[in-house]
Structure 1
Amino acid sequence: MTKSSFLLCLLSLVLLASVVVISKIVDVQIHFHKEALPKKIQNIRVPSLRNDRPDNPIIEEDILLLSKGANNTNDYSWAETEFRNAGLNISASNLKNLPTNEEIKNLLGDKSIMVNKDSKQCLNFQNNVPKEKRWIGVSGLFNTGTNLFYKLLEKNCDLPDSKLGKPVRWQVPWGKHTYAHTSRNHTARYYEHLNKDNGLAIVIVRDPFTWSLSMCKNPYVVKWKYTQENCPNLRESVPTWGPHKNLLYFYNDWYKKYTKQFPYPHVIIRLEDLTIRPKETIENICECGGGRMRSDSNT
């Protein structure tokens, strides 16, 4: 892995040092009760939404912050290993800003998660798509690390039998931020020549609360009524551009389209895995697509 690609990953890692993740995306449901907010959000079926900035109030009263403050008993060996493998040094002060081994295990589990792998999506893709026609493309909402994923996969994963020239694609042919249910009848510009049936879509999901904070900073083309003082404004239904009650209803609706009758091979990965365990995550995706890691790759 080059220093530049590692620094891209590190930048995301530092920004996500105090996030938790969704271990399962299927059938996520979020219900908001106006009388309970903003002190508390109830009936949220996602694990441990936490605040990623200690100076902001915590939404759920029973949640502890991930960052507990560094002390001599914390083990940062995972980070030391990643930096050493990349040929870079990290100071003790910067190391203490990262989560410990124990914190990562408690919040992310022991390994990267790839939703749909158990449903034989990878095997079906490899068995049904000829090697010379395969491509891998990325999809995900704004602020979920789609560009980071593309750069890491493109630099480290090789599909040697593909005749496409660039089998690792910056986006899926229907558009990486476009609703999945439009995949059959919509094609992004310059992707008209790419056969949609020959691809593996990699869908990236991010913890919805930290995602919403990033959307407040850079909403791209998403429109809803808020100010920087109250963003993301989950207290009540607010005007949005489209049929959504608020920002997280939009989040749920977008990802459900990939879990309900999506016609093409696809797997779902967590941004948090990509930033904390980049090598493992990229290796899993590369293997799923029938590729192989480049010999000079260290992710």
Structure 2
Amino acid sequence: SEAEVHDLPSTFDEFQTYYGSAPRIIGFKEHCQVGLLMEDDAKKMRLAPAGLFNTGTNLLFNLLKRNCKVSSSSSYEPIDWMVPWGKHYSASHRGQRFARFHEQVNVSEVLPVVVVRDPYEWMKAMCRHPYVMSWGRDENDEEEKFDRFNMFKGDDPQYSCPLLVDPDTNETVPVMVKAHGQKFPSLAHYWNEWNREYVELTEEQVPRLIVRLEDLVMYPK
């Protein structure tokens, strides 16, 4: 899933106003600077991207390949194109699900690099390219009733996407990620709950790095 860079602020000064003057990496201090990953463990680690649809996971993979010089004792490539449980699956799927060609990967030897996008820009991107996500009027609807964009009625601005609350019922507009078998109360809930699983991982559970798409675009090295 690729992200549209034209949504970013038009000038660097404007970018810094929104996102700060330096990249932010959650987990870098804990896992890299203080040596949480011991040398022998680090040699076994594989870097692997993860992120929601439309967050730039392919961009992240290409930047990792281009900029990271990784020495690995693993029998696999030191930089994978996604985490073994699937790059668009949340952290709770770690060790519970294995993507094709990743069935034999030891998840304890994978360092997820999670990319997060500004939620407002991400929601607009999901309206343009929803992938396997769809909307439904009632979160109890049967799966086949979750037709893409079935909540949006012509050019009426009160029904424009992203639509978080149905103006007819004053209820949140649920979304369903069919391939994952998941439902969320709204598109905002989807962004929040998915990312929160990675943010709330403790050092004892699994090391992970979290980066921002906006930083990848403005500070690619």
Q: Shorter-chain TM-score category?
A: 0.7 to 0.9
Distance (Å, rounded) in 2 between the aligned partners of 1:178 and 1:190:
16
Select which of 182, 187, 190 maps to 1:250. 190
Distance (Å, rounded) in 1 between the aligned partners of 2:60 and 2:71:
20
Gap runs ≥5 in structure 1: 1-8, 19-97, 280-299
TM-score using structure 2 length: 0.77
What is the aligned partner in structure 2 of residue 39 from structure 1?
none
Computing the radius of gyration from Cα coordinates, the structure with the larger value is 1
Code of the residue aligned with 2:218 in structure 1: it is I
8 Å CA contact retained: 1:199, 1:264: no
**Higher fraction of strand:** 2
Select which of 161, 178, 181 maps to 2:92. 181
| Cα distance change, pair 117–156 in 1 and its aligned pair in 2 (3 A) | closer
For each residue in 1:109-160, what CA deviation from the matched residue of structure 2 results, as whole angstroms up to 9, or x when unmatched? 2210001223x122212446151x2210000000000001101211232213
Range moving further from structure 2, 248-257 or 159-168: 159-168
Instruction: State the 1:223 CA deviation.
Output: 1.3
8 Å CA contact retained: 1:139, 1:203: yes
What is the aligned partner in structure 2 of residue 271 from structure 1?
213
CA RMSD, aligned part only? 2.2
Instruction: State the 1:215 CA deviation.
Output: 0.3
8 Å CA contact retained: 2:84, 2:102: yes
Code of the residue aligned with 1:274 in structure 2: it is L
What is the aligned partner in structure 1 of residue 131 from structure 2?
220
Instruction: State the 1:183 CA deviation.
Output: 0.6
User: SS state of the match for residue 273, structure 1?
Assistant: helix
Aligned residue runs from structure 1 range 104-143, under 5 A: 104-118=15-29, 120-122=30-32, 123-127=35-39, 129-131=41-43, 133-143=44-54
Asked whether 1:240 is paired with 2:175, we answer yes
Select which of 41, 64, 70 maps to 1:159. 70
Instruction: State the 1:103 CA deviation.
Output: 1.8
What is the aligned partner in structure 2 of residue 91 from structure 1?
none
8 Å CA contact retained: 2:174, 2:183: no
Code of the residue aligned with 1:124 in structure 2: it is L
State the identity as a percent: 34
Count of residue correspondences: 187
| Cα distance change, pair 260–161 in 1 and its aligned pair in 2 (3 A) | closer
What is the aligned partner in structure 1 of residue 7 from structure 2?
16
| Cα distance change, pair 156–261 in 1 and its aligned pair in 2 (3 A) | closer
Instruction: State the 1:104 CA deviation.
Output: 2.5
Gap runs ≥5 in structure 2: 137-150, 167-171, 177-181
For each residue in 1:55-105, what CA deviation from the matched residue of structure 2 results, as whole angstroms up to 9, or x when unmatched? xxxxxxxxxxxxxxxxxxxxxxxxxxxxxxxxxxxxxxxxxxx313x2232
Instruction: State the 1:213 CA deviation.
Output: 0.5
User: SS state of the match for residue 175, structure 2?
Assistant: coil
Code of the residue aligned with 1:183 in structure 2: it is R
Aligned residue runs from structure 1 range 202-217, under 5 A: 202-217=113-128
8 Å CA contact retained: 1:201, 1:267: yes
8 Å CA contact retained: 2:174, 2:187: no
